[in-house]
Structure 1
Amino acid sequence: MKRLVQNYLYNLGYQIIVLILPFITIPYLTRVLGAENLGIETYTLSIVSIFSAFATSGTTVFATRMVANLRNEQDELNKITYNIFLIRTVMGIIVIIIFYLIAFKLKYTNFLILQMILLLANVLFDFTWYFSGKERFKELTTRNLLVKIVGFLLTIILVKDLGDLDILIIINGLVLLVPNIYFTIIFLREVGKPKRKYFNTETLLNLVKLLSPFFLLAFVTQVYMNIDKLIIEHFNMTYELGIYSQMIKSFNVFLAPITAIGTILMPFMSNLHYKKSQNEMKDILKLSTNLIFLLSIPIFFGLLLISEEFVELYFGHNYIDYLGIFRIGLVLIITGSLSNIIIQQVVLPNFQEKIYLQGLVVATIVRLLILILFINFINIYAAILAFLISELLLLSWCIFKTKKIINVIPELFSLNNLKIICSGLIMIIVLKILSLGIFGSIILGCLIYPLLLTIFRENLSKKIKLNFSKLFNN
């Protein structure tokens, strides 16, 4: 448990910095590059992301889980990791050929090719799954953090006007590529050069068979995550796509501390499943569910309260016409938090990719239908509504399909989580009555929310306070 807490603190520290940097760059880029350029960047990245799903072949989640399971069997681990690398390399070459045949028939060809070169280089040198599987998050976070800060500074220094979109794409690509190259070098030092005995047809075919559902899962996931951007651009709404994409990015920024929990727990829960430690898995799930509710509820209610002032201050005056998109989209903070619990801690660690894949296919079809039927009538409101409905459908599917393995419903609707929700509701009501403005509301909210948790005797916050008191007294 101590190691788990340390890993979370490392990753949380990284996620906080990653939260702060985009918090500055998003409003900067909306003003410097404009919504039209950001729409182009989003559209090209969406296409390239779908192609990258072929190159990675679904290996990221699969490999992380395999490393977590085999981390004490180094020779077998070396064999598996090198075979995974071989698969990724071969698939990367195939993707390059297919992309070359298609790219020149699409819009924004130059930006597409630039995005693809950088993304495929990242796929080739990506060994972060090896270090994640071994739960070596201190190394991952410190190196990534340094490069993120450099990338942030380069963005502020070099991206100055509407003509600098290519510079932004290069910076974003290098921010991913540089730490990947570093970890590739560390990986090769640790496991040594590949040996002939690692490779044989039987091992390779067995891996391909095991990877098949992960490959489908990775591809469908990318289609699911990017179909809205492609449809919006298809209807020539590049400007609206820029606005929509930046708002979605902002929600992901606020989900950063919650994302850290899933990043840490996925390999940890996979290892517990491998050891058949079902009771410990349930204990961890209960604890993480409480923590995720504790973090997500005040973020959701707080942003809802200050949404009008926040959108104008953060994105700029031009975005205020799309305030409704932001308010509806805030629900994605709740669905993202639930996804962290259900997908990262139940579905994937328990080898239930088939259930997740089925849910994704259904959710993608529903999302596509809503977009096609309503985008001409309600503009990008169709995109945000399609996103929310499909997310809720996917989560409901996974919850009920995995009930026999781990029933998360009692944890989601526990009395303790009800106390957290009530604390958030009362906080927003009090702040609404007082009308203190954006900064006054944030400061007072940070005082009211913990006070309400104490009054309701919420369990997790009580334990945290007790441990801090012991530390202070010592």
Structure 2
Amino acid sequence: MKVIKNYLYNAGYQILLMLAPVITTPYVSRILGANNNGINTYTNGWVTFFYLAGQLGISLYGNREIAYQRSDKYKRSKIFWEIISLQLLTSSIAFTAYIIVVMMFSSAFKVYFLLQALWIIAYGIDVSWYFMGMEDFKKTVSRNTIVKLITIALIFVLVRNKNDLAKYIFLLGFAQLAGSLTLWPYLRKSIQWVKISSWRPFKHFYPALLLFIPTITTQIYLVVNRIMLGRMAPQAAVSQFNFGDNIVKLVLAIVTATGTVMLPHIANKFASGDIKGVHASLYRSFDFVTAIATPLMFGLMAIAYKFAPWFLGSEYGPTGGVIFFEAPAILMIAWSNVTGTQYLMPIHREHEFTISVTIGAVVNVIANLFLISLYGANGAAIATVISEFSVTTVQLFYIRGTIRRRKLFAPIWRYLLSGLFMYLVVSRINEIMNMTIINLILQVALGALVYVVCLLIMRAPIVTQAKELLKKK
């Protein structure tokens, strides 16, 4: 039950991170316009590389290392102080490098680039990885919920016209910074002070760097779409793609929340030598994410073209195509989240994980070169799906010796067939209905009902898992 509770907390946290901008999106997309939103996306795309370089893969590494020493307060405290001191050092270097680059090379968007620097500071003092390693997600969710709600209110109050882009960028960065700061008071009861003379922060540099490589590589094909669009297409196309991508990633957060929860859980099992438990958790998790990701994918595709202009405004009609073409990435990322984040990472097979995401990044850049010039924002969406497919394929190849892939995929047809039938029903209803909030809720409810009924008829494994869970409850 603890894993399920942590999943719900983390799902809430991941959704919150994406929901804050999505709640404000209909307002901001109209107030700032496609061009200004494109500038925000473009400048934030560049700062992403610097704050990731500052964090140095510590988000995943720290999560895992704390999970290994969860039961020993002194050891986990020592690890915490070593890792956070390393994170502060590398983030300071990244911040300095970013400011120098902005002052030397930026001209048109210098003010916006400087405001984006708040993200580097925010991630430099972030300690959420400690609480994730402790499998304590409640604190992270509750504190960030308050910060995000205040930020949303301030956006509606302070961002009033196209001249308020700087205020908007500042508020987003400040929200991230405030969220990081509010977690520090909770550390007082969980860790103890360890003498600085006993710290060995640099012993964590190399293993954290090994996890930084796949992290930064993954971000390359998350951010490179926006940067390449900014170079090859109008700024409006960047914001049209960005909003579509954000909507897909919002839905995806429900699925990938399992990765952050299961990583410390499986790492703890691996550290105690419970290999059978690791494999059993993997099979259940793969079935679960497939059952959840499939209806989310088909549901988004069914409503995409009418939903985008209704939600974002008429200026964002092309975003419907972005959502439709990028939606299959939900299933691909769900699978690679299990094979990569939940399996390869906790059992120290980072090298194979790194190779898989590196191949994905290379594929993404090559696909973008051809597809953006042909199809614009839709091309970037298709390139995302192709790259995620390549990552999943490589990871499935690597786990062939220890995980029975046939067992993983045996029930998949039940979910895909149920999802496809749901898509046909919802897309038909969507064609004959006008897009309103009531009609949207009806379509979502109908789609969920159709999908669940199909799963019951086909006796999908997730149904059995749900029944067992209810009996235990």
Give TM-score scaled by structure 2 length: 0.91
Distance 2:15 2:102 in 1: 37
Q: Which structure 2 segments of 5+ residues have no match?
A: none
1:99 maps onto 2:113 in alignment: no
Give the conservation status (yes or no) of the 8 Å contact 2:210–2:351.
yes
Partner of 1:51: 50
Partner of 1:36: 35
Partner of 1:449: 451
Query: Shift in Å at residue 433 of structure 1?
Result: 5.1
What amino acid does structure 1 have at the position aligned with 2:178?
V
Matched residue count: 464
What amino acid does structure 2 have at the position aligned with 1:429?
L
Partner of 2:304: 307
Aligned-residue RMSD, C-alpha = 2.3
Give the conservation status (yes or no) of the 8 Å contact 2:221–2:384.
no
- Aligned positions of 1:289-368 closer than 5 A: 289-368=286-365
Partner of 1:111: 112
Relative to structure 1, is the Cα distance of residues 15 and 210 closer, same or farther in structure 2, using a 3 angstrom cutoff?
Answer: closer
Partner of 2:410: 414
Give the conservation status (yes or no) of the 8 Å contact 1:297–1:420.
yes
Q: Which moved more, 1:386-395 or 1:232-241?
A: 232-241
Q: Which moved more, 1:77-86 or 1:14-23?
A: 14-23
Query: Shift in Å at residue 463 of structure 1?
Result: 4.1
Partner deviation per Cα, 1:434-463 (whole Å, 9 max, x = no partner): 655352433322322222221112232244
1:127 maps onto 2:127 in alignment: yes
Partner deviation per Cα, 1:30-88 (whole Å, 9 max, x = no partner): 11111111111111111111011221111111111000001122222222221212212
Give TM-score scaled by structure 1 length: 0.91
Partner of 1:460: 462
What amino acid does structure 2 have at the position aligned with 1:410?
R
Distance 2:64 2:157 in 1: 40
Partner of 1:160: 160
Partner of 2:396: 399
Query: Shift in Å at residue 115 of structure 1?
Result: 0.8
What amino acid does structure 1 have at the position aligned with 2:134?
K
Partner deviation per Cα, 1:101-144 (whole Å, 9 max, x = no partner): 2112124111111111x122212321111111000111111111
Q: Which moved more, 1:226-235 or 1:41-50?
A: 226-235
Partner of 1:145: 145
Give the conservation status (yes or no) of the 8 Å contact 2:266–2:346.
yes
Distance 2:286 2:209 in 1: 31
Relative to structure 1, is the Cα distance of residues 171 and 194 closer, same or farther in structure 2, using a 3 angstrom cutoff?
Answer: farther
What amino acid does structure 1 have at the position aligned with 2:415?
I
Relative to structure 1, is the Cα distance of residues 137 and 411 closer, same or farther in structure 2, using a 3 angstrom cutoff?
Answer: farther
Partner of 1:428: 423
SS in 2 for 1:306: helix
Relative to structure 1, is the Cα distance of residues 458 and 329 closer, same or farther in structure 2, using a 3 angstrom cutoff?
Answer: same
Distance 1:19 1:372 in 2: 28
What amino acid does structure 1 have at the position aligned with 2:109?
Y
Q: Which structure 1 segments of 5+ residues have no match?
A: none
Tell me which of 258, 261, 264 is aligned to 1:264: 261
Query: Shift in Å at residue 465 of structure 1?
Result: 4.8
Give the conservation status (yes or no) of the 8 Å contact 1:64–1:267.
yes
Relative to structure 1, is the Cα distance of residues 189 and 179 closer, same or farther in structure 2, using a 3 angstrom cutoff?
Answer: farther
